[in-house]
Structure 1
Amino acid sequence: MDWDKLRIFHAVAEAGSLTHAGETLGLSQSAVSRQIGALEAQLNVTLFHRHARGLILTEQGELLFRTAREIFSRLAVAEAMIADSKDKPTGELCVTTTVAFGTIWLAPRLKEFIELYPDLRIEMVVDDRELDLSMREADVAIRMWKPTQADLVYRKLITVHNHVYASVDYVTRHGAPQTIEDLDNHALIVYGEEAPAHFNNINWLLEIGSPDRPRAPVLTVNNVYGVMQAVASGLGIAALPDYMVEGNPRIVRVLPNIDGPSFDTFLVYPEELRNTKRLAVFRDFLLRKVADWHY
């Protein structure tokens, strides 16, 4: 099988479009189409169903795509190990975590890491969905839950605690609640109906002290970073992870005697990358940052 054609097929299958694959590969749409047609002729099968909205893999195409993904994944590992055979960690490291944790906690700490290891290129992907590390959608993840896949290595990072917060502006205008019952008379902001299943009772603020008659929120947001921004604007009160308000002068803790649910965060990576230098230095850096961070 022609290697160049397989590479182009892999790009088209991932993109679902000849045009988008061509942009990634630096080829024209017609050139990509010719290569796919030639591969289909060589294999004597149809690899894609073509329709107005894009391309869909046929059954034979799915089989070839799964094989191609595995091949390119193994090649990426080999490339990383070759790069790690040098004295200094080099190459690329793709790190993924949630939007809130990546934006607020991780991103500000990457400057120091990049200065320590200038030959490493970091790609940070913030996404509240779980990227597939086994299929190399990322190299390493910081997750808000313990992984269940047997081929993934994980290590606990920090325990995240949740408390009740409001903005200085909100407290100035409406006062701070003094008791749990006072929450009945305040504007509450919560995550929303599609809260991640990994989090236990993420909207506990609606029920605490009133389990039989949950409070009605003034706003629901399906991203905790959005909840924090709404709180900072002065809209209302919300339960937030403590790390999100660290150093934010606009947000203050209210009901200081009330503790919300806590959860552990984990550094997660594929077993095959365990001994690579680029991952080892990133892991050690994060563990130092965690040891120095208390909130």
Structure 2
Amino acid sequence: MDWDKLRIFHAVADAGSLTHAGDRLHLSQSAVSRQVRALEEQLNATLFHRHARGLILTEQGELLFDATRAMIKRLDTATARIRDSEEEAFGELRVTTTTGFGSLWLVPRLSALYNKYPELKIDLMLEERVLNLPMREADVAIRMKEPSQADLIRKRLMSVRMCLFASRTYLARCSVPPSLENLAEHRLICQNPSSAQVGAGAALVQELMGHDVPSVLTVNNYFGVMQGVLSNLGIGVLPDYLAQDFHDLIRIMPEVESSEVPVFLAYPEELRHSKRIAAFRDFVQDEIIAYRKQLREQ
């Protein structure tokens, strides 16, 4: 299939107008129209509904537009990677991590990375599902366990433990339970035991549930748990790193905590020399160093 025709079709579909597409491509409206009609004839399909206000994709046009959009994205990514051997890091970097760590620890620190590399385009994918890095579902991952996929460069960043937290307002109203036996006097806020989460956190939640807590709020990610705690709804199970950035969160009962959860950064072997990967890796390591220093000073 003629790439020029596909490129012109994509521009028309994106602009919704032959004229606007022609302006982008530096072609006349008639030239654009001829290419679109030729593509429709080649496919034996109508790609656009034509009306006075512009063009609307048909069902067949939507299918083709999805394909050309994916093709152009892949080409843009390939172009960025080819140029990635230059001195500065730029272009798209697809980062995957968990919803909790990504939204509560990583995102608040990204300004340092953007300040140093303003031309980076971070595509942050927050989900509990482990994306396949060798199959290029993402460029780099931060995960709460050592990745098992082959052909990955991996580095242990830090360790996390799940702990009990309450808000300052809640503690001013309700006393800290002196032992786990008194937890039944409070509402427990935690991740749903059936939701995807680190095993250490799930084990701690199961232990706490064993104390016959009558009132429970479960959420499918730590961001929701934190919002419940900050809304003074009860005592929450949250990662220990939140204490540094969210000063209204107070850790209670320090003897109650999960086993250690390792945090790893990983990326494919083939991206070993990528400037974008190096920029992100160094940024994360610098932030971890600063985080540990602040912990020592507290």
Same fold (TM over 0.5): yes
1:227 matched to 2:225? The reply is yes
Residues 159 and 263, structure 1, Cα contact 8 Å, conserved in 2 = yes
SS of aligned partner of 2:83: helix
Partner of 1:123: 122
Match runs of 1:48-87 below 5 Å:
73=74, 75-76=75-76, 78-87=78-87
Residues 200 and 260, structure 2, Cα contact 8 Å, conserved in 1 = no
**Code of the aligned partner of 1:89:** A
CA distance in 1, matches of 2:145, 2:8: 36
Match runs of 1:150-189 below 5 Å:
150-189=150-189
- Gaps in structure 2 of 5+ consecutive residues: 22-33, 46-57
Partner of 1:26: 15
CA distance in 1, matches of 2:15, 2:201: 45
Q: How far is 1:249 from its partner?
A: 2.5
Deviates most, 267-276 or 229-238:
267-276
CA distance in 1, matches of 2:128, 2:122: 17
**Code of the aligned partner of 2:127:** D
Which structure has more helix as a fraction of its residues? 2
Q: 1:36 to 1:175 in 2, by over 3 A?
A: farther
**Code of the aligned partner of 1:142:** I
Partner of 1:287: 285
Q: CA RMSD in A?
A: 4.1
SS of aligned partner of 1:100: helix
Residues 69 and 135, structure 1, Cα contact 8 Å, conserved in 2 = no
**Code of the aligned partner of 1:258:** V
Deviates most, 36-45 or 215-224:
36-45
Q: How far is 1:138 from its partner?
A: 3.5
Partner of 1:111: 111
Match runs of 1:234-253 below 5 Å:
234-253=232-251
| Count of paired positions | 270
Partner of 2:199: 200
CA distance in 2, matches of 1:155, 1:199: 18
Query: Rg larger in 1 or in 2?
Result: 2
Residues 154 and 269, structure 1, Cα contact 8 Å, conserved in 2 = yes
Q: How far is 1:242 from its partner?
A: 1.1
**Code of the aligned partner of 2:262:** D
Q: How far is 1:280 from its partner?
A: 1.1
Q: 1:55 to 1:282 in 2, by over 3 A?
A: same
CA distance in 2, matches of 1:155, 1:110: 20
Residue 266 of structure 1, aligned match among 264, 278, 284: 264
Residues 157 and 264, structure 2, Cα contact 8 Å, conserved in 1 = yes
**Code of the aligned partner of 1:103:** S
Partner of 2:95: 95
SS of aligned partner of 1:267: strand
CA distance in 2, matches of 1:8, 1:156: 47
Partner of 2:30: none
Partner of 2:52: none
Residues 77 and 273, structure 1, Cα contact 8 Å, conserved in 2 = no
SS of aligned partner of 1:166: strand
Q: How far is 1:285 from its partner?
A: 2.0
Partner of 2:149: 149
* Deviation readout 1:32-58 (Å, 9 max, x if unpaired): xx999977975899xxxxxxxx979xx
* Deviation readout 1:67-118 (Å, 9 max, x if unpaired): x979964x45542333223232232323232332222211232222222223
CA distance in 2, matches of 1:289, 1:160: 15
Q: How far is 1:229 from its partner?
A: 0.9
Q: 1:181 to 1:206 in 2, by over 3 A?
A: farther
Residues 200 and 261, structure 1, Cα contact 8 Å, conserved in 2 = no
Residues 206 and 217, structure 1, Cα contact 8 Å, conserved in 2 = no
Q: 1:182 to 1:41 in 2, by over 3 A?
A: farther
TM-score, L = length of structure 2: 0.72
CA distance in 1, matches of 2:98, 2:213: 28
- Gaps in structure 1 of 5+ consecutive residues: 12-20, 46-53
Q: How far is 1:276 from its partner?
A: 1.1
